[in-house]
Structure 1
Amino acid sequence: MQTKKEKEDRENLKQTRNWTWMELFDHRFFAEVWKKDRRVVRTAVMLVIIFHFFSIGIVPSESMAPTLEPDDLVLYVNTKHVTRGDIVFFTYPLDEKLKYVKRIIGLPGDEVEVKNEAVYVNGDPLEEDYLLEQPLYTFDKATVPEGYYFVLGDNRNNSEDSTHWGFLKAENVNGKAIGVLLPFSKFKLFK
C-alpha cells in the first residue's frame, strides 16, 4: 500500500515532467518528437550509420609523404577487403596500441622484391607515380603468405614497414583510406 505522502510525491513528480513513462512507449509521443526534432533525429541516425561503416584516422608519421602528411585527418571505410595500391590503416604488429598507415603492395601468394631502386611484384616492376623517391635499399625476393599483406610507405626511404617487421596479418587491417578530410587545403578523395 502506498502512503499518502508517496502518492503526493508521485503526483509532484508527474507535474515536474511533461511526459509519463507510458507516453514514452506510445507511438504519438514518438510522432511528436519526430515533428519537433527531425533534424536532431536525422543527424543522430546519420552519425550512427557513418561511424558504423567509417572511421577517422590521423597519420602518425612522414612515411606516407607526399600522399599523406603527418597529422592529416583521413576518413577510412571499415573493411578487411583490400587490394594492391590501397592505403590502409592497421594495428601495428609490434605494438597493438599503435595505428599505422601504409600502402598495400603485395597480396597473398605474390612474390615481392625490392632491387635496382624499384619494387617488383611477381617479377614485374610496379609503376608508382605517388612516390617521394625511389627506394635506395634492397629486399630479397619473398612470397607473401596466405592471410598476410606486404605493405610499404610512399616515402620508401623513411618508412618502417614490411621491409622492417615482416608481412602484415590481414586481421590487423582496420580499413581502407578513402580521403583526406583535414586540413581543408588538402581535402581529396582517393580512387
Structure 2
Amino acid sequence: MKQKLYDYSFEVKKQRRRTIVSVILFLLIIFAGISLVRTFAVFTVRSRSVSMQPDIPSDSCAIFTPIVNNLLRGDVVMLKSRAASPLSAFATAADAVARFFTAQQYSLFANDTAREQPEIRRIVALPGDTIYMKSYVVFVRPAGDSHFLTEFERSEKLYNVHIVSVPSDWDNAIGVSGSFEARTLGSGEYFVLGDNRTSALDSRLWGAVRLEDIKAKGLAVYFPFAKFRLL
C-alpha cells in the first residue's frame, strides 16, 4: 500500500513538473515570436499626441512596420527617439509582450514619458526636392522639375491637415511658423511635418531628418474602429 502511494505521489509530481515546463516553454515561444514579429514585421503604437490629427486622432492605435525602404511623399513615419536612450533588445521584447497581453493599455516603462510619446510625422518632401511653405501648405518641386505643386498634388497618398486660422496681427514668432523660404533637401534628407500644422513640432524646428532617423513606417490606424484608415 505504501509503495503504491509513493508511486502515485511520484507520478503526480512528475506530471506537475511537465505542466510547469510546458507553460514556461509556451510563454518563451510567445515571447520569442512577438519579439521577432516586432523586429522584422509589424508592431502597434498608441499615439496620445494631437500632432497628427485629424487622420491619426489622439489616443488612437496604429500599425507600423520597421521596414522603411522605398519611402514616398505622404508616408507616415515614426522617428527614433531623440530624448531618451533606446531600450535593449530584451527590454523591448518584454515591453512588447506586456503591451500585447494588455491591449496596449500598460507598458513596463509607463513612467518613461519620452518613450510613451512616439514622434509620428508625415513625409512631405524627398531628397533633392526644393520646397517652400505658405500658409502652412508646402509647395514641392522635385529635382529636374521646373514647377512647384502643392504637397497634396505631389503626394502618392491622400491625407488631411489641420490648420487653424490666426488673426492678421498674429506674431509669427509665436509657435511653429506657417511659412518659410525655398530650400533644397540634400542627399538622404526627408522633410517631415505633423498634420496638425499649427501645433506640431517637426522639420520646421528640427530641420530635415535622415533615413537612419526613421524607425518605422505607418500602415494603418486600427483603433478606434470607427477611425480605421490605411496610412
Which deviates more, 133-142 or 164-173? 133-142
Higher strand share: 1
Residues 19, 112 of structure 1: alpha-carbon distance in 2 compared, 3 angstrom cutoff = same
Match of 1:88 among 69, 77, 80: 77
Match of 1:50 among 28, 34, 37: 37
| Contact map agreement 1:62 1:69 (CA 8 A) in 2 | yes
Is 1:125 matched with 2:144?
no
- Following the alignment from structure 1 to structure 2, what is the Cα–Cα distance between the partners of residues 125 and 63? 21
Note the 1:165-176 alignment, pairs <5 A.
165-176=206-217
Is 1:113 matched with 2:132?
yes
Q: Give the gaps of 5 or more residues in structure 1.
A: 1-11, 25-32, 34-39
- Following the alignment from structure 1 to structure 2, what is the Cα–Cα distance between the partners of residues 94 and 75? 23
Note the 1:133-148 alignment, pairs <5 A.
133=163, 137-148=178-189
RMSD: 3.4
Partner amino acid, structure 2, of 1:51: R
Q: What is the DSSP-based 3-state SS (H/G/I as helix, E as strand, rest coil) of the residue aligned with 1:163?
A: helix
Q: What is the DSSP-based 3-state SS (H/G/I as helix, E as strand, rest coil) of the residue aligned with 1:175?
A: strand
Match of 1:101 among 101, 110, 120: 120
| Contact map agreement 1:14 1:20 (CA 8 A) in 2 | no
Partner amino acid, structure 2, of 1:101: I
Shift of 1:94: 5.7
Shift of 1:111: 0.9
Is 1:179 matched with 2:225?
no
Shift of 1:108: 1.0
Shift of 1:47: 4.2
Match of 2:192 among 147, 151, 164: 151
Higher relative contact order (CA 8 A, sep 6+): 2
Shift of 1:169: 2.1
Residues 105, 20 of structure 1: alpha-carbon distance in 2 compared, 3 angstrom cutoff = same
| Contact map agreement 2:74 2:122 (CA 8 A) in 1 | yes
| Contact map agreement 2:136 2:197 (CA 8 A) in 1 | no
The alignment's TM-score, normalised by the length of structure 2, stands at 0.59
Aligned residues: 163
Residues 177, 111 of structure 1: alpha-carbon distance in 2 compared, 3 angstrom cutoff = same
Partner amino acid, structure 2, of 1:100: E
Match of 1:76 among 51, 58, 64: 64
Residues 87, 106 of structure 1: alpha-carbon distance in 2 compared, 3 angstrom cutoff = same
What is the CA deviation profile of residues 71-130 of structure 1, one whole-angstrom value per residue up to 9, with x for unaligned ones?
211111112222110011112446664520011011111111102553111122222751
- Following the alignment from structure 1 to structure 2, what is the Cα–Cα distance between the partners of residues 170 and 89? 11
| Contact map agreement 2:72 2:126 (CA 8 A) in 1 | yes
The alignment's TM-score, normalised by the length of structure 1, stands at 0.69
Q: What is the DSSP-based 3-state SS (H/G/I as helix, E as strand, rest coil) of the residue aligned with 1:63?
A: coil
Percent identity between the aligned chains?
A: 26
- Following the alignment from structure 2 to structure 1, what is the Cα–Cα distance between the partners of residues 13 and 179? 74
